[in-house]
Amino acid sequence: MYRVAVVGSGYIGLEHIKAICANPRVTLRTIGGTERHQQRLQDLKVRFNAERVTTRYEEILEDKQVDIVYICTPNRLHADQGVAALETGKHVFCEKPMATTLVGCQRMVEAVTRSGRHLMVGHGARFRPLYRTVKELHEGGKLGDACFCESDYVHSLKPFLEGPSHQWWRHPGEGQFAVIGGGCHPLDLMRWIVGEFEEVSAYGTTKVLDDVDWYDTVIAMLKFVNGAVGKCLISVGAPRPYAMNFSLYGTEGTVENNRLFLKAFGEGEQFAEMPLPVLGEVHACAEELEHFLDCLDADRPPMIDVRDGARTVAACLAVAESLETGQPAKVVTDC
């Protein structure tokens, strides 16, 4: 039985708490939060029968009964909190993105190596049946060699920014938040399915969101190491329903979301529809937890380990660099 501490009592922290409480292999030891949210912590303690709550992260680090720390705090805090947890002998589940700087990523990689503990990053889209099927089709050669891949992350953030709980998105330490906090979803999927990026060129604009120092709409042109090219659209301003689209064009076939066409079909003019849903904004907290526990039991790195998480951050930071310089940017792949 693993005992878990969840640090961060906001939206995604709550989703992970629900998954933890539904899993018989773990116990919710502690919920951590800020002084400003003391009443919320007490309410969550009662609601989910947590053993403890605290506003001091040090208490979680000092607690020898905590086996796993879930980091669900603002992105800029992930590196410091993750390293501290690893250095006290705890395994870490870190919500995406793993960090906001390459230095932070490197510190986390080194902390995993030194400690011998495991770290998993919460890129939940990898657990969706549709994307796992696309990856299997590509790896199995059904689509041939990848020619072009595109993915969109479209999520109107204006309603969130109008309330008090998401004001941390404006913090300068968060960098190009739409790219690092939102674009990490499609960029991670693209590099997981097609391969690592080599170079990016990006353009951005802000037309909807007020008082933010980052672009609310970004288009990035991508070059993969294997020679494929790609496109990623990030839109967090335009008022429209959530969407994360994914398409992969190969020499033997094409996938557009859950539609499939293979050259082997012949001269047909229509896609076949795969019996897999194109989901909206859903989370895979339960699947992520089960996978992480299996890896801890076997003492093996999780699917999205510390180096994998770092490479996705590196892709995001290359997009941010290109936005800031107006020039193509190389993607660091030796994380």
Give the model confidence (pLDDT) of 15-56 as tens digits: 999 999 999 999 999 999 998 888 899 999 999 999 999 999
pLDDT digits (tens, 9 = 90+) for 205-239: 999 998 899 999 999 999 999 999 999 999 999 99
Q: State residue 37's pLDDT score.
A: 83
3-state secondary structure of 218: strand
**C-alpha dihedral sign at 94, 95, 98, 100:** negative
What tokens were used for 87? 């250095």
Domain 2-124+285-303 and domain 126-280+312-330, same fold? Reply is no
Angle at 319 between CA 224 and CA 126, to 5 degrees: 60
Classify domain 126-280+312-330 at the CATH superfamily level.
Dihydrodipicolinate Reductase; domain 2 (3.30.360.10)
Peptide bond into 301 cis (omega under 30): no
* Domain ranges for the chain: 2-124+285-303, 126-280+312-330
The helix (H) or strand (E) run that includes residue 86 is helix 78-87
Identify the residue with better confidence: 132 or 39: 132
**For 2-124+285-303, CATH number?**
3.40.50.720
Q: State residue 68's pLDDT score.
A: 98
Burial class (CB in 10 A: 0-12, 13-18, 19+), 160: middle
Q: State residue 53's pLDDT score.
A: 96
